[in-house]
Each structure stands twice: as C-alpha cells, then as structure tokens.
Structure 1
Amino acid sequence: MARSKGRLDLITIGRSCIDLYGQQVGGRLEDMASFAKYVGGSPTNTAVGASRLGLNTGLLTRVGADHFGRFIREQLTREGVAVDGVLTDAERLTALVFLGIRDPDTFPLIFYRENCADMALTVADIDPEFIQSASAVLINGTHLSQPGVFDASIRACELAKAAGGKVVFDIDYRPVLWGLTGKDRGEDRFVSHEGVTARLQQVLPLCDLIVGTEEEVHILGGTTDTIAALKAIRQRTDALLVCKRGPDGCSAFPAAIPDHLDDGVVGRGFRVEVFNVLGAGDAFMAGFLRGWLRGEPLNVCCEFANACGAIVVSRHGCAPAMATWEELQSFLTGGARPFRLREDAALEHLHRVTTRTGDYEELTVLAMDHRSQFEEICQRIGADPALIPVFKTLALKAVDRLAHGDPRYGVLLDGRFGMRGLEAAADSPYWIGRPIELPGSCPLEFESSADVATELATWPANHVVKCLAFYHPDDAQDLRERQERQLLRLQDACLKTGHELLVEIIASRNGPVDSHTVSRAIQRLYDLGMKPDWWKLEPIDDPAAWANVEKAILDNDPHCRGVLLLGLSAPQDELIASFAAAASAPIVKGFAVGRTIFAEAAEEWLSGRIDDETAIADLSSRFSVLVDAWNAARATAGNAPVIREAV
C-alpha cells in the first residue's frame, strides 16, 4: 500500500507490541494451544486502520532490537505506515500481549510490558520536524501512566499545536497498566482512581478531539455518571468529545453537553454479532479520523467509525481485521448483511484481496518445483537422487544473479527436494511459490497430511500455495466433481491460514482445447466459489482464447492478481512464439517456467559434467532470454510494464 510522500495526515504515538492471539475460541487462555502473531498496541492498530482507509499515517514509538521489533517495522511498511518515528531500543525488548476469545463478554489479556521498548519513549525521541509534518497527532492514555512517556506525549502535542496541527486523545484506559489490578486482569476496563483522573486531565487543554468508551469517559471525568463525566471534561476543554457506546454506536458533542447521550450527534449504527471486541475501538478511531481529517460532516464521521468498529468486532485479531476504504464503502452501500458478519463471503473476500501486500503488474518465475521429473532424470542417467536437493539450491542463486533483489522475480520450489532453497529464499525479496499437489495425480491428491490445512499451518506465511489440476470442463462428472471438492478444500484451508493460492490448470491432457475451453473451466470454478489469487495456465496461441480467459476472470474477481504462463517443457523457440498471443491480454502478468530453463543444466550437473557455477550461469542465461522475450512481447502488444533497470 504505497503512500505518496509529503505531509502526513496523522501520527499516532505510543504502544507498539506483538499481539499473540489464541486461535482456539470458547475456552480459557490456559487451554489455548496455538497463537497467531499480529502487530498490536492501540496507536499502532489505529495507524494501520487509518492507512487502510486512505490516510497518510505515521507512528512514533520504540521497538526492541529483536525479531518482533523488525516484524513490526516490516509490517507497518507493508501497510503504508511511515516508520520514520519507529525507533530501535537496543536495551529493551518489544512488548507482547497474549489475548484470547472465551465468549462474547470475556476476552482474557496478559500484558508483557515490564520495562518494554515503547514505554521508554522520552522527550529526546520527539523529532519536531517529524511531528510537525502531520496534520494531527494522536496520544493515548496508557502512555500517560509513566513520567517519561507522559512528558514525551505532552511535548509532541505542544509541537503539533505550534505548527497548527490537531491533537487527538484516545483515552485508552487499561487499569492493569496503571498497576490498579492483578497482572492477570488485563481485560478489566474500569477501576476508579483519582490519581489517574488527575493525570489524564492534564492533557485536556491541548486536545481537539477526545474519544473513549463510557468507562473511559468515567475515568477521565472522575465520575461513573456518563453525562456528569462529559460535563466535567467539557469544563476543561473545548475539544470535540466522542463517546463510544458499543452496539448503540456513538454520540459526539461538539459544544455543550446535553442531558441525554442520544441528544448528541450520532451516525448510523450497525448491529452485528460480537465475536471479538478487542481492536474494535481502534478501528472506530481510524474510521472517525478518516472522516474528521478529511472534513466530512460529523454524522458521517460517526457512521464511518461505527461501521469500522462493527467490521472488526466480527473478526479475529486487531490490526489485520481493520477495514480498507473499498471494503468500508462496500459495507455502507451493499445492502443487508448477515448478523454474523464474518460469514459474509463477499465482504470477507474483499477484505482479503484489498489487504494483500505486494504489487505484481509483472512477475517472472523460475519454476523448479518438479519432483517426479527430477527422479526420472536421476533414474535415466544413474544419478543419486540425494543430489536433487543440492541442485535445487542453485535456483535461487540463478534468479538472484539476474534479478539482483528485484521483487518482480520469483522462485517456485517444493518442500520435498527444494526445502533448502525455500529456506534460503526467506531472506530474499522474491515471490515464493510452493506446490501442494501429489505430482501427476488425477484425480487431484495432496502431497501432505490428509488435512491440508494442517499442512499449510506449517508453511511460512509468504509462501504462495500452488496447486496443479489436470482439469477439463468436459471431464466425466465424477472426476470433475472429485477434483472440484479438492480445490474447494484447499481454498478453504488457504483462507484459514492466510496463504495466497495459485491454481494451475492443464486442460489439454484430458481433452481437446479450443478458444473457450480454458475460460469455461475457469468460469466453472468461479461458479463453485473458487477465487484464487493467481491462475497458472498453458500457453495458448489464440488471442481470442486469452480474451475469453481475461473476461472470465475480471467478470468474477476483478481483484485477481492475474495469470502466469506455464511452459509444458516446450522448446524455447515455441514458448517464446506463444508469448505474442498471451501478451495481448493484460491479465497475463508473466510466466512460471521450469523445464524449458533447467532441463539441460539439471542433467549435465547431476551427471557431474558441469559444476555449480556453470549450472547457475546456464540457468540464469536461459531465464534471462525468456524474460527479455516476454518484455518484448508485452511492449509489442502495447501492454509494456515499467522498464526494469539494467542488472
């Protein structure tokens, strides 16, 4: 999610941690067996949510010089959040939070924040130029609990105000972080305390917008009577006050406080099943700020906020559950939604595809995920199959020799023979694909556990799941339906694990192919509910066939990443000749070719006739010829991508 350079709309300041979310729902935190890792912390979540809604956001915080600190920085970059203010603390660790979902009213939390990095933020960390680059800064109550971070927050507010910026205060009250409850009571939302009230009220004269739940309004106002608390706050500030009211939406008060909450400015509310309240308030803030900082009427700001909160309260996680602008607009205009919102397949798909990272207007991949073909080579020439994994490690080196870190290149490697290559690719910027199918199987079978989701749960999140199906729309009904069930199982597994899915269709093995065959196969799968991130298809010489394919994809899923060509071990000249027809369709982004590139080098290397360096050079050279030919074909067709820099 690239953001334009220049002035930021918003800088959030404060907590930045790792959320470790229990993946089992309906039990005690003691009984959670596995945890999903997300970025977390209220201001961090809000920065992500606001960025997804189209605001230019940044974060000011500290993270540890550790793996989790690096993850936060990398994920914020992927989300389009400016990380100029994300400072590395070599002395402290990144904070952790363990979270669970027990029932609609119980969400256990354990904060691991003893001497953590973000609570070490000081006045010296406040860069005036960075703060004054934003139209608004957001501070939160947790970072007022200790003297150093309190002073840092005040300094940031003063700098923002001096430059004509706005100050937003998220009351964000967690009694446990003020030492008012036992450490196992992280979910407690309210404990009355005069000292906390006095500390929080010190920032009120600086504020332009204050947002909190009723319990948070109580602690800020010093009374458990909500209207009385709001009136007490109003005596100390002219800020716009927004009281979050859960399923009843919110009430906003730009001026005097009336005697009833319903007499404030309200926006349309949305009643949905509460699955997880954690993070909903941060989403509410992001939605409200999207309207407020862009000058929308107050009732529209409230509507945006209510909708964003409703969307997130229905999902697992905080930051990853935040809505995108396109998703929000669809939610607001799309008509009736199910009460159990996470069962809205269209909305969930829109969320998934609009939160993917990486932009692949072109992609060229060296495919060396072959297994049976390598075994056949070894059997034919008498080579030791134990050499196959060693040869496959050369794939990444060959790609890197050509790409030099360009993310528009990729590798496709398997977990059986290519695991060392996959492991090495973890530190690279390249697209990584990995097969799941049992080689040559028709009907389709998986080369893994019988439960494919269990297998995918062991794969790194950035591995794209590739599945080859020998599938023809005119297959016998029992064969077709059996394969379709497998593909649907796989897609469901990918949705649960968060992996992207590439479906490779080879129709020619099962029957004759004309200009409609592949598009009919694709349409059939879409009709069944398949929506893969990528398609991988055979070379087709007929431009009309590609036009049909493109129409089928765009009519059913305009967010599809696109099509990659496979090679079918065609001779180089034949494959290059097929590029002309494929390049006429913008939906085709490139290719993932294997045997055309590696067949000769593999046999020579496995026979011991060439060394590693010669093999790498040969692979890279053949790959380069296809890349150049593809780029030329796209240029001729008028679909030329941005010119790659010479390497």
Structure 2
Amino acid sequence: MAAKERQLDLVTIGRSCIDLYGEQVGGRLEDMGSFAKYIGGSPTNTAVGAARLGLRSALLTRVGADHFGRFITEQLAREGVSTRGVLEDPERLTALVFLGIRDADTFPLVFYRENCADMALQASDVDEGLLRDAGAVLINGTHLSRDNVFEASLRACQIARGNGARVVFDIDYRPVLWGLTRKDMGENRFVAHDGVTARLQQVLPLCDLVVGTEEEVHILGGSTDTLAALRAIRERTPALLVLKRGPHGCVAFAGAIPDRLDDGLVGEGFRVDVFNVLGAGDAFMAGFLRGWLRDEPLEACCRYANACGAIVVSRHGCSPAMPTWEELQAFLASDARPFRLRDDAALEQLHWATTRVGRWDELMVLAMDHRSQFEALCAQVGADPARIPAFKALALRAVDRVAHGQPGFGLLLDGRYGMRALEAAADYPYWIGRPIEMPGSRPLDFESSADVATELATWPGNHVVKCLAFYHPDDPDDLRARQERQLLRLQDAARKTGHELLVEIIASNSGAVDDDTAARAIQRLYDLGMRPDWWKLEPSDSAAAWRNIGRTIVANDAHCRGVVLLGLSAPQEDLVASFQVAAAQPLVKGFAVGRTIFAEAAARWLGGEIDDETAVDDLAARFGVLVEAWRQARSAKIGHPAAADCA
C-alpha cells in the first residue's frame, strides 16, 4: 500500500497508564499531599505528542474495564489519537504510576503494574488492519520484558515490515519493570543484565529507527562504553540510531559508528531550566517522528526533537506538557526565550490555547446561574428558597429536550442552588459554565472561599469558570484597578487549576455606552494580560460595535473561543432582533440567556401553579425559539460581507 493511501502515520504499542503527579515540588514523595491525574506510559505519551504535532497517530494497548481505563480512552480521543487498538480488559486494572519532582536531578516514581491491563497484551490482540493503515509502528523496551507482550510487539513489527511500513524502537529501559531493582527504585535508569540485552537485541533486525539515552544504548549494546555499545547495535541492524544526550541535544548515526560521538550528525540542544525530566524523552520521540515520518532532513528531525524535549522539561506532567505544532514553530522562531521557559507567558498562552479540548462552532446556553434573582422571586411569590435547587434541576431536562445530545448546547448553573443539576450534567455532553462572582458585587468579589484558587480546585475540570464584572472602561481609576486585580487573580487561578474562563462584561449599568465601549473595555483587559477563553457580552443592534469587538479580539487573541450574548432579561423579540446583527460577526458563537427563558416558568412553579413537566415544556419551548432564531440568523449571514470584516 502506498504511503499516501494510509490512514495513519503512526501506531504506538505498549504501556498505557494513569500518571498521578505530585503537585508539591521540592519534597519527598512521602510528603506530597495531592496528585494531578494525567494519561501516561511512554508509547501513550508519544502518541499524544505526535497527534499534537499533526501526525495521525493510534495506540495499541489494553486498559482496565474501570474508571481509569475509560479516562485513558476518552482523553486519547480528545487528543485526536485513534483508539481503534485500545482494548478493554475486564480481568485486570489499569496501571498507575505515582511521580514526584524532588529537585533538578531527582524524580521519584512508584509503578503499580502488578498484573495490569497493558502487560496482558498478546499477539492475538494485534489488529492487522490497524497496522496496514499505518506508515510506522513504534515498540518499546518495557513491552519486551514478558513473553506475551514480546510476542505482540514482534508480530506488530512483522506485519508492519510486510506492508512496507517502518519500525521504530524506543529502548525505554526501566530496570524496575524487569524486576531488577526494589520497587521503590523506579527512577533508576540502568542495571546491566545480559538477559535483558539479549531480549532487546532480538528485535533489532526489524528496526528502521532506534532511539535511546546513553544508559539505554548501554543496555541494548551490552556495554557501558557508549561507542562500543553503538557498534554492537550497528552489527545487528542498519537502522538509523539516535542517541539522546539531554541538554546537549542528540547525535544521529545513519551509517558506520565513528571514533567520536560528535562525528555523528549532532543536533544541538536548547538551554532551558530543567524542571521535570519525566516525559522529555517521549516528547523527543514525537518531535523526531514529526520530521522523520514526513521525510524531512535529519537536521530538522533532530531540531524538532530537541525543541520538544526542552519544552517538556520545563513543565509539570508528561502528556499534558507536549507541545503542539504551532507552539513548536513559535519556540523555534524565537531566540529571546527565557531560561525558565515556563515564565514565557506568550508560549504558555499558546500552549493553553492550542491544547484546549473541543471545538465550538456554535454555543447556545440556558443560563440559570442566577442566585439573588431567584431569592427575590421566592420572596415575591412566598416560596421557600429550599425549593430553588429542584427547579434548577429542570434546566438540564429542558436543554436535553431541545439538544437531543447534539454538540453546541450548554448550561450555566451555580454551586449554591444548582449543584444537583451540575452533578447530573456530568453524564451529558453539554458545555457547562459555573459562576464564581459574588452576585451584584462591584467592585468584583468572589463567592465561597476567600482563596479563589482553592475554590476552583474543587470544581470538575470541564466546568468553565464564568465571572460577571460590572466594568466600564471609564470607571474611576481606583474602582477599575480593584476589579482588574480580581480578574487577573481569577485568570491565574483558572490556569493553574486547568479551567477555561468566561468573562462577562456589563458596562451599561455603569455609564454611557457607544460603539466603542465594549471594544475599549476588552482592549484594556487584553493590555493587562487577560486572555479569557470566552467573552460574554451585552446584546447590541449596532453592526459597528460588533465590528469593533471582533477586530479587537482577533488582534489580541487569535485563539479566543468566541463570544456569547447575554440576555439582560430582554423581551424575546428584542433578543431575536439583536441576533440578526450579532450573527454577522464570526466570533459570536451564540447566546447564554436566562431570565428571558425561565422567569415566567420559575414564578409559576415556585408559586405552585405548575408541575415539573409543565415547567420543562415551557423552558424547552422558549429555549427552542431562541435556538431556532439564532440558527436562522447565522445561516442568513453566511457569506455576508460583514462576516469577514473583523480583521
């Protein structure tokens, strides 16, 4: 099969686990109190890294029929990695690894891999159709440590070779996984062992590319003399050999091994502060393959590989730290990067923006995150506020009745009265927003914890943080400064907890509004370093105002998710009219409207006049009218000249 006909560039085979990364840095693993959960395992990390760099990758492995196995499969899909070869094992659990960052040289690991799912992979699990679709297959050393996984890896190599695909060998040597060290010595990288060397060398005749560190080359070549080890490897394979040398970059050997390492093709490393070496080798492999599988010059392959490794050593985690192609290009284009690469705000913003999950071409949201308004409504109709949570739970039913599980729909719900609905929404595919501001506060204050970061740390990762600010660009200096400090504090907290941020701006309560007001407010926040994922803005019937908003956002943040319109309790017909103007602006993705939809039903339900089903009927009908109005307005504006007038 010709390479151009293949559906995949790469299939990686082997370890797939949950990485539980200690969030405290600079101490013993024994003293770490919380852990971040990521997908991990060398071939899994490489598959993710390759996908982020634009390669079509897939993973062949087993995961447990458990929550963690499902997380791996779901996260791979979110990353764009094909899961055709991810098999569910009902008899075994998904493997776990606990990892820590002690100092620049010490990274403790504890592997929980006793009878784990990925080590049960066997030759019959290898899908020949999957491998026929791939331009290359990658195997790694850990999956040569037992007979069944060795046979599976060998079969995959043979199928690949038989179909004209290339074979990549990541030596990936962890002595503890071969039973050569105590279980608490997971970070140990080298123990000489003739049996391991003999086992690893069996696959060399099938390989087209072999990649490893000096320690890994030593075990594969059976010598602690690096040149001697390389020559022993060369005797068994004509493959391209790539020696990883950490901060010194790498050396590639396409032919005979020279008398000095530096006589190979040297890829210079990048000078950056080492924060975490774990995962850097997997990033190196992904970067190298991005060039090699597209037949780029070897120098370019090495440059991509070294850059990817440098980026990952500056971050927490393995798979989440992998750069995207756009991010890699930005890194390579700049010579002004800081030594502490994680202090490069522009690069970190690009990483965040290009690794966010999901795409939202439209977003239509039922906003029921109101708190003080519901309390006032209860007082008005004489209802017990304890009934509010039950009414808010009806919002999910109403949205689902309109959406039928389709993308592009969402809810805004609060944790005070909407928690039961938020919990139920976890089983649905809808966008979820959640407010953080104290209702009505000006200057802006936050609800719940005095420390907004500790509050966000208790929220599920898919909850978008929504913050309403009554903010006008002409506010008094001291008021404006206080609000801006709060917004910057919130953005910092949201990034550190991994939550997207929606900033809602209402200026009309605080001063005169013209065609430039919203754009000036947005520009001022951008100038301060704000880069929210979403904006929620007041409706306007001014095309000029929307053009100004669009130009401002595009000029400052090309990766902004977009804008949704708020309702301000406007009559339905007024909102529909505003849609006609806003729909011409490509960045406006939809609406997040509340009281226009729920006010009447809430009053009647809280007052005991209607039951749940009638309330859901009413909510769904009103929500559906706005959905249809938005879609009609958007459809009518496709190709409209104003739609392109935002640059």
TM-score under structure 2 length normalisation = 0.98
Output the CA distance in 1 between the equivalents of 2:104 and 2:240. Answer: 31
Output the CA distance in 2 between the equivalents of 1:345 and 1:266. Answer: 30
Cross-structure match for 2:637: 637
Matched, 1:78 2:94: no
Cross-structure match for 2:609: 609
8 A contact 2:539–2:575 mirrored in 1: yes
Matched, 1:232 2:222: no
- Structure 1 unaligned blocks of 5 or more: 641-647
For the residue of structure 2 that corresponds to 1:350, the secondary structure is helix
Once the two structures are TM-superposed, the CA of residue 636 in structure 1 deviates from its matched residue by 2.1
Output the CA distance in 2 between the equivalents of 1:113 and 1:584. Answer: 55
Residue type of the alignment partner of 1:333: A
8 A contact 1:567–1:594 mirrored in 2: yes
Paired residues in the alignment total 637
8 A contact 1:13–1:138 mirrored in 2: yes
Summarize the Cα distance change of 1:178–1:496 in structure 2 as closer, same or farther, 3 Å threshold: same
Structural RMSD (CA): 1.0
Output the CA distance in 2 between the equivalents of 1:194 and 1:141. Answer: 14
Residue type of the alignment partner of 2:591: F
For the residue of structure 1 that corresponds to 2:388, the secondary structure is helix
Name the % identity: 76
For the residue of structure 1 that corresponds to 2:192, the secondary structure is coil
Residue type of the alignment partner of 1:435: P
Output the CA distance in 2 between the equivalents of 1:6 and 1:33. Answer: 46
Cross-structure match for 2:137: 137
Output the CA distance in 2 between the equivalents of 1:395 and 1:639. Answer: 34
Once the two structures are TM-superposed, the CA of residue 266 in structure 1 deviates from its matched residue by 2.2
Residue type of the alignment partner of 1:265: L
For the residue of structure 2 that corresponds to 1:85, the secondary structure is strand
Matched, 1:175 2:188: no
Output the CA distance in 2 between the equivalents of 1:58 and 1:473. Answer: 49
For the residue of structure 2 that corresponds to 1:266, the secondary structure is strand
8 A contact 2:246–2:269 mirrored in 1: no
Cross-structure match for 2:93: 93
Output the CA distance in 1 between the equivalents of 2:134 and 2:581. Answer: 49
For the residue of structure 1 that corresponds to 2:484, the secondary structure is helix
Cross-structure match for 2:479: 479
Matched, 1:247 2:247: yes
Matched, 1:627 2:627: yes
Cross-structure match for 1:494: 494
Output the CA distance in 1 between the equivalents of 2:624 and 2:260. Answer: 71
Q: Over residues 18-63 of structure 1, what are the superposed CA-to-partner deviations in whole Å (9 max), with x where a residue is unaligned? A: 0000000000000000000000000000000000000000000000
Cross-structure match for 1:220: 220
Q: Over residues 70-129 of structure 1, what are the superposed CA-to-partner deviations in whole Å (9 max), with x where a residue is unaligned? A: 000000000000101000000000000000000000000000000000000001101111
Residue type of the alignment partner of 2:392: K
Cross-structure match for 2:538: 538
Cross-structure match for 1:338: 338
Cross-structure match for 1:644: none
Once the two structures are TM-superposed, the CA of residue 271 in structure 1 deviates from its matched residue by 1.1
Q: Over residues 163-199 of structure 1, what are the superposed CA-to-partner deviations in whole Å (9 max), with x where a residue is unaligned? A: 0111000000000000110000000000111110011
Cross-structure match for 2:597: 597
Residue type of the alignment partner of 1:460: P
Cross-structure match for 1:316: 316
Output the CA distance in 2 between the equivalents of 1:639 and 1:348. Answer: 35
8 A contact 2:68–2:94 mirrored in 1: yes
8 A contact 1:365–1:412 mirrored in 2: yes
Cross-structure match for 2:518: 518
Cross-structure match for 1:208: 208
8 A contact 2:457–2:497 mirrored in 1: yes
Once the two structures are TM-superposed, the CA of residue 639 in structure 1 deviates from its matched residue by 6.0
Summarize the Cα distance change of 1:486–1:567 in structure 2 as closer, same or farther, 3 Å threshold: same
What is the 5 A alignment of 1:329-408? 329-408=329-408
Output the CA distance in 2 between the equivalents of 1:571 and 1:540. Answer: 14
Output the CA distance in 1 between the equivalents of 2:253 and 2:639. Answer: 53
8 A contact 1:52–1:323 mirrored in 2: yes
Matched, 1:8 2:8: yes
Q: Over residues 131-167 of structure 1, what are the superposed CA-to-partner deviations in whole Å (9 max), with x where a residue is unaligned? A: 1110100000000001110011001100100001110
Q: Over residues 580-630 of structure 1, what are the superposed CA-to-partner deviations in whole Å (9 max), with x where a residue is unaligned? A: 121121110000000000000000111111111111111011001011111
For the residue of structure 1 that corresponds to 2:19, the secondary structure is strand
Output the CA distance in 2 between the equivalents of 1:67 and 1:171. Answer: 30
8 A contact 1:583–1:639 mirrored in 2: no
Residue type of the alignment partner of 2:225: D
Output the CA distance in 2 between the equivalents of 1:323 and 1:260. Answer: 32
8 A contact 1:20–1:98 mirrored in 2: yes
Cross-structure match for 2:157: 157
Summarize the Cα distance change of 1:538–1:5 in structure 2 as closer, same or farther, 3 Å threshold: farther
For the residue of structure 2 that corresponds to 1:460, the secondary structure is coil
Once the two structures are TM-superposed, the CA of residue 335 in structure 1 deviates from its matched residue by 2.6
Output the CA distance in 1 between the equivalents of 2:56 and 2:627. Answer: 36
Output the CA distance in 1 between the equivalents of 2:7 and 2:546. Answer: 43
8 A contact 1:19–1:37 mirrored in 2: yes
Output the CA distance in 2 between the equivalents of 1:218 and 1:511. Answer: 71
Residue type of the alignment partner of 1:220: L
8 A contact 1:586–1:639 mirrored in 2: no
Cross-structure match for 2:453: 453
Output the CA distance in 1 between the equivalents of 2:383 and 2:6. Answer: 59
TM-score under structure 1 length normalisation = 0.98
Q: Over residues 347-405 of structure 1, what are the superposed CA-to-partner deviations in whole Å (9 max), with x where a residue is unaligned? A: 00000000001111110000000000000000011011111000000000000000011
Output the CA distance in 2 between the equivalents of 1:34 and 1:460. Answer: 15
Once the two structures are TM-superposed, the CA of residue 6 in structure 1 deviates from its matched residue by 5.6
Once the two structures are TM-superposed, the CA of residue 638 in structure 1 deviates from its matched residue by 2.1
Residue type of the alignment partner of 2:592: A
Residue type of the alignment partner of 1:618: D
Output the CA distance in 1 between the equivalents of 2:580 and 2:66. Answer: 48
Residue type of the alignment partner of 2:615: A
Output the CA distance in 1 between the equivalents of 2:303 and 2:6. Answer: 29
8 A contact 2:248–2:268 mirrored in 1: no
For the residue of structure 2 that corresponds to 1:420, the secondary structure is helix
Output the CA distance in 1 between the equivalents of 2:31 and 2:407. Answer: 41
Residue type of the alignment partner of 1:563: V
Once the two structures are TM-superposed, the CA of residue 5 in structure 1 deviates from its matched residue by 10
Cross-structure match for 2:442: 442
Summarize the Cα distance change of 1:113–1:262 in structure 2 as closer, same or farther, 3 Å threshold: same
- Structure 2 unaligned blocks of 5 or more: 641-647
Residue type of the alignment partner of 1:36: A
Once the two structures are TM-superposed, the CA of residue 7 in structure 1 deviates from its matched residue by 1.4
8 A contact 2:250–2:268 mirrored in 1: no
Once the two structures are TM-superposed, the CA of residue 448 in structure 1 deviates from its matched residue by 1.7
For the residue of structure 2 that corresponds to 1:336, the secondary structure is coil
What is the 5 A alignment of 1:2-41? 7-41=7-41
For the residue of structure 2 that corresponds to 1:524, the secondary structure is helix
The runs of at least 4 consecutive aligned structure 1 residues that moved more than 4 Å come to: none
